[in-house]
Structure 1
Amino acid sequence: MNGPVGPYHHGSLAVQDRVGVRELADHVGRSIGPGIRPVAAAFLELQPMVVIGAADEDGRVWSSLLTGRPGFVRATGPASVSVAGGVPDGDPLAAALARGSTPVGTIALDPRTRRRMRLNGTARPTRRGLAIDAERVFSNCPKYLQKRDLYAPAPGSAPVAVRYGARMTPDQADLVRAADTFFIATLAPGHGADASHRGGNPGFVTVTSPTGLSWPDYPGNAMFLTLGNLETDARAGLLFLDWATGTTLQLTGTARTLFDGGDRTVRFTVDRVVEAEGASPLRWSPPAYSPANPGLPR
């Protein structure tokens, strides 16, 4: 079957069939719709951060962090959202999101409550930031989400030091190795963009070289939206956060999935790196790890 069925395109369907979860995916997919329910709207207005994924003007896919006082993201209608401020100047997605209509994926993840929701659609610039017309809205379970408390924001607005590169530095590689959470943006031509979350115990992401890393694809909701997109388009963007200092590390490149029996591993090749020291004003506590996190191999 080549065309989309319900919320899924042929890439997701191919992975669902390969793993043998098509029936479960069909059931879970019924929760995906264009409407923003009141409970979802209320959740959005409580969030101090949201992650957005899209392609830049050169076609590279990035995952970017947006922050603001709660209420900076809010539903403005049954299928529309506003984001005050938009992406920061200098962000890899700033130019693309400042022009016309751009397919985007967003994820609002609240470590305080271990809740998350995803909203994919089309973004356009406004005088205040961004407007997003929602096409797919849905929530995910708290699996692999680490719980964190939010401290007071960092005082002042010190200039952000931004470093660009084509490979990870040793310090950047250490940040990746220590991560218990990251975000991944993908897209499928004709089917829009998506932003998702990956979590596990520190060390679940392996750095294989300054331009290579990998992670296990843990069992999830059976939708396979991320891996489905990668089946059709290898471009991807990763976002790692230093939750204590606000530093962000953005990687863009390509990813492929390796299937080995019932196990899946995603391998990512870095093309560009952007590190912004103290980019986020938010400061979070050390995590309480999700009880769903698998143990790491010895």
Structure 2
Amino acid sequence: MLEQTRQDAPSPWHEGELAMQRSVGVVERMDGPGRNFVRKAMPEQHRAFFPMLPFLVLGAVDAKGDVWATVRAGRPGFLASPEPELLDVDLPRDAADPADAGMGDGDAVAMLGIQLETRRRNRLNGVIRRTQAGAFHVRVGQSFGNCPQYIQPRSCAFVRDPDLPTAMQPLRSGQLDDRMRRMVEGADTFFVASYVDRDGGERQVDVSHRGGYAGFVRLGADGVLTIPDFSGNRFFNTLGNFLVNPKAGLVFVDFESGDMLQMTGRAEVLLDSPDVGTFEGAERLWRFTAEQIVFRPDALPLRWSKETPDLPRRSRG
């Protein structure tokens, strides 16, 4: 049973999220869910969920203000919640990961715990407190769950010790080569990070899942990505952030090889584009232009295999 709306609690939605909700006429309808389900502590279900995971999706902002999304792996148990307001993370620093530059003591961070085989996912954001290079904890700012819609089920297994980094070096580039383009054009899943600086100087970072049929991301000859946005939970965390701050970080994973493609750049929300009709079921679009690209072969010690046929063509993260 839903708990009574906490009218005394402040709305978690910032102006960008409210603008997106206003565009579809759901501001009043989303006020109650925002106050009830966007919490400042993790519920017991989430605290039990994170320690089961072999990998974690993160969003972080570097010193230049660029936002990056990344995926980090560890043996189940590398995440733990000693109390509802804290998540302990046992991960070493990784100089090869551009997101690591934004994961120092006091930095704002976002986390997505996602279990692909069961299609469960839970999100949180907060502030890193770090006293050593090999671990940190996050003081929770916001914690909330997401529905399982359009997550492609996959099972995974380790192919090496997650504490052993790959010997392969990252490749930094200003544009996508053929190998990178194939990753984008063939993807049925990616993750996106975004952020806003709220009143009072609080930085709020978000990282979320986007998924659908293979090829749901359209890649132009100029390297610009066009991504459809479909009916979802109406939180509009990602697109609302883009309206306030058009910086975005994307990460694509090759689930068979462990390769990762990370990009940071600028996003544009298209509410009324005539191109919406060319994407089946899309309600709106957004475009992403990469400004920095990092391709990291064999970055992840995990390999995934699909458990079911491809998702239906309508997709949403």
TM-score by length of 2: 0.86
The answer to whether residue 115 in structure 2 is matched with residue 110 in structure 1 is yes
Instruction: Determine which of 87, 91, 94 is the counterpart of 1:88.
Output: 94
Measure how far apart 1:290 and its partner are.
6.9
The residue aligned with 1:213 is 225
Q: How far has the Cα of 1:154 moved from its partner?
A: 3.7
**CA shift in 2, pair 1:20/1:292, >3 Å:** farther
Which one of 57, 70, 77 corresponds to residue 71 of structure 1? 77
The secondary structure found in structure 2 opposite 1:20 is coil
In the alignment, structure 1 residue 240 sits paired with structure 2 residue 252: yes
Task: Name the structure 2 match of 1:177.
Answer: 185
Q: Which segment drifts farther, 178-187 or 30-39? A: 30-39
Pair 85,281 (structure 1): closer, same or farther in 2 beyond 3 Å: same
Shift of 1:36: 1.2
1:8 counterpart = 2:16: no
Q: Cα distance, 1:82 vs. partner?
A: 1.2
2:69–2:192 Cα contact (<8 Å) kept: yes
Structure 2 contact 168–298 (Cα < 8 Å) conserved = yes
The sequence identity of aligned pairs, in percent, is 34
Matched, 1:101 2:116: no
Query: Between Structure 1 and Structure 2, how many residues are aligned?
Result: 291
Change (3 A) 1:118 1:59: same
2:303 to 283, 287, 293: 283
Q: 1:291 to 1:177 in 2, by over 3 A?
A: closer
Q: Is the 8 A contact 1:237 1:253 kept in 2?
A: yes
Cα deviation digits, residues 123-161 of structure 1 (max 9, x gap): 132323221110100110000101011234346754132
RMSD: 2.0
The residue correspondences of 1:241-256 to structure 2 (distance < 5 A) are 241-256=253-268
> Is 1:145–1:289's contact at 8 Å kept on the other side of the alignment?
no
- Is 2:214 aligned against 1:202? yes
Q: Note if contact 1:168-1:210 (Cα within 8 Å) is conserved in structure 2.
A: no
Change (3 A) 1:54 1:152: closer
State the match for 2:285 in structure 1. 265
CA deviation string 1:26-48 (max 9, x = no partner): 24322110111221111000001
**1:289 CA drift (Å):** 5.2
Aligned counterparts of 2:69 and 2:131: Cα–Cα separation in 1: 20
Unaligned runs of 5+ in 2: 1-8, 274-281
Residue 81 of structure 1 aligns with an amino acid whose one-letter code is: L
Greater shift in the superposed pair: 152-161 or 78-87: 152-161
Aligned to 2:129, which of 107, 114, 124?
Answer: 124
- Which ranges of structure 1 fall in alignment gaps of 5 or more residues? none
Question: Does the Cα contact within 8 Å between 2:152 and 2:306 map onto a contact in 1?
Answer: no
User: Structure 1 pair 158/268, CA: closer, same or farther in 2 (3 Å)?
Assistant: closer
Residues 287 and 58 from structure 1, CA distance in 2 versus in 1: closer, same or farther, beyond 3 angstroms? farther
Counterpart-to-counterpart distance in 2, 1:235 and 1:116: 24
Deviates more, 1:182-191 or 1:229-238: 182-191
